[in-house]
Chain A
Amino acid sequence: MHWLRKNLLGIIAILVLVYLFIPIAVIMVLSFNKPQGKFNLSWNQFSTDAWTNLCGVPGVCSSFVKSIEIGIIATLIATALGTMVAFALVRYRFKGRSTTNLLIFMPMATPEVVMGASLLALFLNLRFPLGEVTVLIAHIMFIISFVVVTVKARLQGMDPRIEEAARDLYADPRAVFRYVTFPLVLPGILGAALLGFSLSFDDFIISYFNAGTLVTFPIYIWGAAQRGIPVQVNALATIVFLVALSIVLIGQFVSYRRRKSLESVPIIDDEALTSVDALSRS
């Protein structure tokens, strides 16, 4: 009883983690399965077929590549546009600025079904053919909001005196941007791009409304789920998960290293006091 009380918090934490990771673990494990029948739902026999023959099922790889392609294009365009919007909103005072500030949040707040449906209505009314272009337009639209919010926060957190110092030190406006502003905002932009890509890659609802005959990876899985999802999907999902995980781990590692190097370098005070202090303590 005493033991339980002492370790209750730890046990609950482990249970929550288990709860979070069981679905992912199941997906990973089943990627090594050789299912009996159409549905890959229960363990039958160990096999690496799906891994050695990733594109073995028609449509899996083409939809996967298509999703990555759409993700990259949408992210690049949305990040460029969103970064410019963020700079405009933070750095300039213009008519309609606060309205823009408000409207930029709308795509984040609107339910995806509503956005998907209304975009579809728009494209149909314009007689715009559905396909990759319409999906791209939709994705760019909602990614921009996230980019603006992230980059804006980064810009607002920057000490304006740092840019003034650059101007004071003979940097013309172009050089201020290139050597000071941009490098300082870059982590925010990269973070926004990463977020944007994963949102695009992941998006089903809005894409489904506006895809026409185009098949993205989520749309493929949706279709396949009716007939039995091929094991290759599990393998690809595992790959995506591992890539995402390694990005997170690399990020953690870099910031850990940076913290570590800060700690290992003692901040030497201008006074000899610190060393005197250290001597007296040893």
Chain B
Amino acid sequence: MAASPGNLDVQDLHLQGLTKRFGDFVAVDNLDLTIPAGSFFALLGASGCGKTTTLRMVAGLEDPTEGTISLGDADITKLRAFERPVNTVFQSYALFPHLDIFENVAFGLRRRGIKDVQKQVEDMLELVELSTMARRKPSQLSGGQQQRVAVARALINHPGVLLLDEPLGALDLKLRRQMQIELKRIQDEVGTTFVHVTHDQEEAMTMADTVAVMNAGRIEQMGHPADIYELPRTVFVANFLGQSNLIAGKRTGVSGDDVVVEARGLTFLVPSDRCSCTTEDMIVGVRPEKLTILDKADEGQVPEGHNRVPGRVTDVSYTGVSTQYLVDTPWGQELGVFEQNVVVGDRCDVGDEVVLHWAPAHTFGLDGSAGATAGSELED
């Protein structure tokens, strides 16, 4: 690819004590965050969690109530939007409708007084594969093309950080998938730090190398997508990022490396290093695909030391790749189970008495003092 802006002076973005209040409402609450240079970083959360406000403060479109924003060693908190080496891909793109694609992309260069923009704009249009569209107006492009113009228009300025505000929200599912791959390719090529705000957990997990889950103006958990998914540290994260089966119980002791939890007359083992709780009230969690479903009659096959829950199947949905079961526990809670359709036939039916079991290594323990439902109704 001919066009590679190759940004060498990419620097870490630091947010320190960043707070934004609108009257009494705290949109962003004392946020401390370091986004490593060159990473693809996703801020994930439901609408109203403060992620867009955070992004707007970094862009300079919103003044923080407190705290600082710095790029490398330079404090940019007080710089106004047009003075910051930060560019944004806006939700629904906000292309200039009266300018053609070329002029849209050239806009930032021209405002900085750069006279000879031809070569740079052409290279950039090539990067986003829109070379033939230079003289069209934005309204003559499809959604996906407009999206790429918005990316090109921001990237041509070699920003220290590229901010993306729900950039794929306006596209249909198929195009969204395609643009996810496209954006990753562009990021690989230019090496700029991308900060991506989204409410779509799948989008965040596919694209980002670091995901921060935001809730009520705070970051609940941050890390590699797989780490967060496999080991959620709060009830909100467990429910918001994928699905979780959460069973409330009480911590009763320790057995070897495991914490012992009593819940509903059953005993569960949770590895101590997968347990993020200090209180007696605890929640035992496990992801639906980690569960194995067995007919009651085959209970003897459950491996020694596995956690187990008896139940009755209330719903079976066959989705091709997997089968999803809903299993009613004796205490009336429904647990979800995903089973890969590796073996043809021989599935459980509605009404079957079954046993669910899983390895303690797949269990996670959460602080149970706040209940087990946070984040579960917010699912996109």
Q: A: which residues have CB within 8 A of B?
A: 159, 161-162, 164-172, 175, 179-180, 183-184, 261-262, 265, 267-271
Contacts and interface: CB of A to CB of B under 8 A. Distances in A.
Given A161-B91, A161-B92, A184-B98, A168 B81 contact: yes
B144 A167 contact: no
A175 B174 CA distance: 38
Interface class of chain A by DSSP: helix
Given A170-B108, A171-B107, A270-B145, 15 more contacts: A159-B94, A161-B91, A162-B96, A164-B94, A165-B90, A166-B96, A168-B59, A168-B82, A169-B111, A169-B157, A170-B111, A183-B98, A261-B140, A267-B141, A271-B174
A172 B90 contact: no
B82 A184 contact: no
Interface range for B: 35 or more
A269 B174 CA distance: 12
Contact of B136 (A162, A164, A166, A265): A265
A164 B62 CA distance: 11
Given A162-B96, A184-B97, A271-B178, A169 B145 contact: no
A162 B90 CA distance: 9
Interface in B81-96: 81-83, 86-88, 90-92, 94-96
Nearest to B84: A168
Contacts of A170: 82-83, 108, 111-112, 157
Interface in B154-186: 154, 157, 174-175, 178
Nearest to A160: B94
Contacts of B83: 170
Contacts of B111: 169-171, 175, 179
A179 B97 CA distance: 12
B142 A268 contact: yes
Contacts of B92: 159, 161
30 contacts: A159-B92, A159-B94, A161-B90, A162-B95, A162-B97, A164-B81, A164-B90, A165-B88, A165-B153, A166-B107, A167-B80, A167-B82, A168-B59, A168-B88, A168-B90, A169-B107, A169-B108, A169-B111, A170-B108, A170-B157, A171-B107, A171-B111, A172-B82, A184-B97, A262-B140, A267-B140, A267-B142, A268-B142, A270-B145, A270-B175
B61 interface: yes
A90 to B, nearest CB: 18
A10 B131 CA distance: 49
A62 B141 CA distance: 53
Nearest to A270: B144
A270 B82 contact: no
Contacts of B108: 169-170
B140 A168 contact: no
A164 B61 contact: yes
B81 A167 contact: yes
B206 interface: no
B34 interface: no
B142 A262 contact: no
B139 interface: yes
Contacts of A262: 139-140
A268 B145 CA distance: 9
B179 to A, nearest CB: 8
B94 A162 contact: yes
Interface string B293-331: 000000000000000000000000000000000000000
- Interface-central residue, A170, A180, A265, by most chain B CB under 10 Å: A170
B61 A169 contact: no
B196 to A, nearest CB: 16
A85 B91 CA distance: 30
A271 B154 CA distance: 24
B103 to A, nearest CB: 9
B107 A269 contact: no
| 3 closest residue pairs by CB, A with B | A161-B94, A169-B108, A270-B144
